[in-house]
Amino acid sequence: MNTDIYNKATKILKDIYGHQAKFRKGQYEAIEAALTHHRTLIVQKTGWGKSLIYFISAKLVTGLTLIISPLIILMENQQKYAHKLGLKCLILSSRVKDASKEVLYDKLEKGLCDVLITTPESLFGKEMQRILHNLDIGMFVVDECHCISDWGHDFRLEYSRLNHIIANLPLHVPALGTTATANDRVINDLEKQFGENVFIMRGPLLRSSLHIQVLKLESEAERYAWIVKNINKLPGSGIIYCLTRRDCQRLADFLNENNILCRAYYSSDELEKPDNNGISPNQESEKLFGENKIKVIVATVKLGMGYDKPDIGFVIHFQCPSSLVAYYQQIGRAGRKPGTEAYCFLMAGKEDESIHEYFIENAFPTYEEEIQVVETLDKHSDTGLSLKGLTRYCNLNSRALSRSVMFLTNQNVICYKYGKYYRTLEPYIYQGDYYKSVRKAKKQEIKEILRFVKTKSCYGRYIANALNDYTAKDCGKCANCLENDVLHGLESPAEDEIALVQQRLNNMYIKITPRKYWPEIDSMFDSTELIGVPNETGIALCKYGDPGYGEMIAYDKYKADSFRNVLVEQSALAIAGNIGGKGYQTITNIPSSRSNKVADFAKQLAVMLGCRYMELFETTGSGKEQKRMLNTIHQYRNAKAKIKLKAKAIAPEKIILVDDMVDSKWTLTVAGRLLTLNGCKSVYPFCLADSSQTEVRL
């Protein structure tokens, strides 16, 4: 033991927490390791107190402690903790406004800060990289360091660049990585990232406060019904994790309708946009949840790693997470307050595997996607292209284009400067074998958690063993150990309750928000990018392929001669419920050169609503299948080329515009503008299903 470090560290602890305060087992040893071994990995269970290690160490080193953290809400928790320990701590993230960033950079350069907490994306920003070389870094910390691994968090490539910073640190400057979720494979990977002679401290991972139960409720309606029936029996406030943003919002809306106070929480411009008081909806949700003014927060993994609210009483997973590592992290948000118990329910749905498969297959760019970017920049080597410029030449959706650009930049095949991308001299080699290896590893992790769902053994021990902690014994608290529910009084929903929920889900229509700007200036419509008279906010009956109507539509679109009567009836009810009595007396439809199915559907719908049907559009014979157009400019240009108003068409003042699918909304937008230029004052879009692929986990 280093007596000098021990005495100083113990004094800091007692100054903050009182004379009786003591380090938990292994905490002081971790502090000494961080300060003396210089390259250190600490793997300890959730709630063990890993942040105490680097904050006390920060008070004992000379210079700035730079902490890399994956999530904004975690960073804000860490800042409060740092201030409690008397550290001058700043945050650099996407929530920091540009004017505040200038003040922050100035404080950093003048040495007026003890700790800077930042995301890897912000760390590699242009201005931060400019001043980084001038900073006196006393310690470099990567919190949730498993994100550095090839099998890390959501393929955030900036994490893979942190090893360059670690490699360039002087050997006497400590580099510390902390995590609760690193199995042997990830630890081996982290050793390579942190360099030679890494000191590794591992502790037992099983949390005694957690009671785990798997609920095999395959249908969405069953899970909704179980939550409504049982959530008020669960102690305190809690988190429900969903795989997609859409699931978060739908479930939150449903729970609020059933008098269960909750908020949805995920990444979106809408939820991150501050109001007049400078508070975003997500920040308001954080505050309400922190103060226990809502029962539950329905979140993606955005509210995940390291989030510290000690009194969380339960965690429900609406679907299986992507791995046992992710599951362990997320249930670790609960039961952190000493002496409390928490309850964890994992719902296994039939859609889980297909959702994960989608995320895995879309995590990396294809060769066809990357080569479009490379060849386009080869042709514009002198001038370079902005991201919008690339969109004009590459038929890629925004996510695929951003993903390709990100990976190619990381490989130095292209570079970014002065607002544009340029081709470098680095030869292009598709990293297909590497992408394949990570996909394979991720698929194995999904299989592992699906095996976990079926196990008859102790859930806690199973998780610990999967993370290569073989010290764990049966917990005695999970549903398998108890051979019963983990909490008395839980009830399964009855068939009639499930049927009522399914009926409500069928009526949770999807908004078709109007596009308000053209992707480029076009004299055919408006002389500026602003759309003169945009469509009204319409609705789609459901999400394509969803249980219930979504499955019917998927079958009827490709395997039946027409859309079934129940879809016509429900569509009529939906339209009447949303715009009944508002003067819409006419229906038209988007034309198709392949089938009369949509036209027949629109005619039946008109009869049921007591409206007249008008055939106002025709196809031009130009253009391609719209679904083959993958970004907004290509979709707009193709839609404009494909349809036109009939020569003698006269549009009514108000009209319902019908199509079977809505994806990019450009076909509806072009058709709507053609109608308003023909005298129509209000166009209300209606589609059977939303087929857009816009779901993301964060």
What digits encode the pLDDT tens for the residues 478-534? Answer: 999 999 999 999 999 999 999 999 888 888 899 999 999 888 877 678 777 888 889
Q: What is the mean pLDDT of residues 401-409?
A: 90
CATH code for the domain defined by 3-202: 3.40.50.300
How would you class 199 by CB atoms within 10 Å of its CB: exposed for 0-12, middle for 13-18, buried for 19 or more? middle
Residue 513 has what DSSP assignment?
P
Highest mean pLDDT among 46-60, 163-177, 308-322, 598-612: 598-612
> What is the enclosing helix (H) or strand (E) of 116?
strand 115-118
Class of domain 509-690: alpha beta
φ/ψ of 69, rounded to 5, equals -135, 145
pLDDT at 403 over 60: yes
Does the fold of domain 509-690 match that of domain 362-430? no
Yes or no: say if 58 and 194 are a contact pair by the CB < 8 Å rule: no
**In sequence order, which residues have a C-beta less than 8 Å from that of residue 336 and are 6 or more positions away?**
46, 47, 209, 308, 309, 310, 312
Q: Which CATH superfamily is domain 210-356+451-495 in?
A: P-loop containing nucleotide triphosphate hydrolases (3.40.50.300)
Tally of CB atoms within 10 A around 92 = 23
| Residue-wise pLDDT tens digits, 436-482 | 888 888 888 888 998 999 999 999 999 999 888 888 899 999 999 99
The predicted pLDDT at position 153 comes to 43
Q: What is the pTM of this model?
A: 0.83
Highest mean pLDDT among 18-27, 71-80, 149-158, 247-256: 247-256
Class of domain 362-430: mainly alpha
13: helix, strand or coil: helix
- The ranges assigned to domains in the chain are 3-202, 210-356+451-495, 362-430, 509-690
